[in-house]
Amino acid sequence: MAKKRIGIVGYGNLGRGVELSIAQNNDMELIGIFTRRDPQEITTVTSDANVYSIKDIFTYKDRIDVLILCGGSATDLVNQGPEYAESFNTVDSFDNHAKIPDYFAEVDEAAKKSGHLSLISAGWDPGLFSINRLFAESVLPTGKTYTFWGNGLSQGHSDAIRRINGVTHAAQYTIPIQNMIDSVRNCENPVCTACDMHNRECFVVAAANADKEYIRNEIVNMPNYFCDYKTAVNFISEEEFFAKHQGNAHGGFVIRSGNTGLESETKQVYEFSLNLNSNPEFTASVLVAYARAICRMASNGETGARSVFEIAPALLSPYSIEDLRKRIL
């Protein structure tokens, strides 16, 4: 069978993760990495990857089955999603939850018009976590779903700290509160917001003459990001920062505690969790599996935008449905 031909747009952590994941999947072939930078200056992770200028991407239109968009949601995907859906089947990890309906509509229109198929918002959240929220509430309609994130580094919160005067480097970890996880697992159905479920821990490198009390106050009182959370601020040296806070670990839990029975008296707990040593490499692996599904569905003539909710699980696997039923059903 012909290999599925993949293109990568954007070569940061996620793009590198996709490149690595393709190397783990024998039915996939990396056609090229497309970058805004000078292709000559890019050193790829695997030895044999081709790097091209993003300006030349449309000349590869007929040589690529699925384009995996590896940019950020805020500035890259919001434009690239609709633009590339006009010429390619695409998969992306658009993760701005509030803007998903608008983004879906734009990509859907572009993909339908051009006869392509696009999957938006794959990865783990949105992605596998979303699917588990859906399964959980569908099989346990009487109940409550909780999503915990972490322990892991939040890029958005780290960026927010770095914008404070006098901060040179910052890492912010989101830490789920164990007592709350236990309470949810015990079916206590606590009434709580994300602020009650997580603490925030910050590791900050301050400039030599910076006012640390000013920085601490700016962080803990920052609206939306920190003011409603229990936030710890630790000042550390640049050496310690580079030694200890360069990791990409992340993960979390989706837990639904539901009830069945005549008086809804029977407790049932549904739980999904991820413990990831590399958030971008795992997210990339999910994107590659969904690229396989999109390739198959596009071959069947499907067009428009899709979410992970609309993809049958078997389409993610390189194995035949007969093998899957026999081996792991």
Helix (H) or strand (E) holding 205: strand 198-206
82 binds a second copy (CB under 8 A): no
| Closest C-alpha among 166, 175, 182 to residue 232 | 175
Selected from 33, 51, 69, 140, the binder of a second copy by CB under 8 A is 140
Q: What are the angstrom distances between the C-alpha of 112 and each of 25, 107, 109, 307?
A: 29, 8, 5, 15
Q: What are the distances in angstroms from CA 66 to CA 8, 169, 170, 175?
A: 9, 37, 36, 36
Does residue 83 touch a second copy according to CB under 8 A?
Answer: no
- Residue 100 binds a second copy, judged by CB under 8 A: yes
Please give the structure tokens belonging to residue 74.
């805020």
Cβ 248 to a second copy shortest distance, Å: 9
Q: For a second copy, which residue of 37, 45, 53, 221 counts as binding (CB under 8 A)?
A: 45
Q: Does 49 interact with a second copy (rule: CB under 8 A)?
A: no
Tell me which residue of 36, 3, 9, 38 sits closest to 22, measured CA to CA. 3
Q: What's the min distance (Å) between Cβ of 4 and a second copy?
A: 14
Cα 54 to Cα 19, 205, 255, distances in angstroms: 16, 36, 41
CB of 277 to a second copy, least distance (A): 5
Binding part of the chain for a second copy, among 74-82, 123-131, 176-184, 193-201 by CB under 8 A, reads: 123-131
Name which position in 74, 139, 195, 227 contacts a second copy (CB under 8 A).
Answer: 139
Region near a second copy per CB under 8 A, out of 49-57, 110-118, 209-217, 262-270: 262-270
Tokens of 211: 């006012």
Q: Count CA atoms within 13 Å of residue 21 on its CB side.
A: 25
Of positions 34, 225, 229, 270, contacts a second copy by CB under 8 A: 270
Binding mask 176-205 for a second copy (x = CB under 8 A): ---------x--------------------
CA distance 170 to 160: 9
Start-end of H helices in 167-310: 178-185, 194-197, 212-220, 238-244, 279-299
Quick one: which segment of 1-9, 128-136, 153-161, 210-218 binds a second copy (CB under 8 A)?
A: 128-136
**Contact between 24 and a second copy per CB under 8 A:** yes
Report in angstroms how near the CB of residue 290 gets to a second copy at its nearest.
9
Q: Tell me, what amino acid is at 275?
A: N
Region of 148-156, 166-174, 205-213, 283-291 interacting with a second copy (CB under 8 A): 283-291
Which of the stretches 49-57, 127-135, 190-198, 224-232 binds a second copy when contact is defined by CB under 8 A?
127-135
CA distance 92 to 305: 11
Residues 201-240 that bind a second copy (CB under 8 A): none
State how far the Cα of 5 lies from the Cα of 25, in Å rounded to an integer: 12
Applying CB under 8 A, which part among 59-67, 68-76, 96-104, 152-160 lies near a second copy?
Answer: 96-104
299 near a second copy, rule: CB under 8 A: no
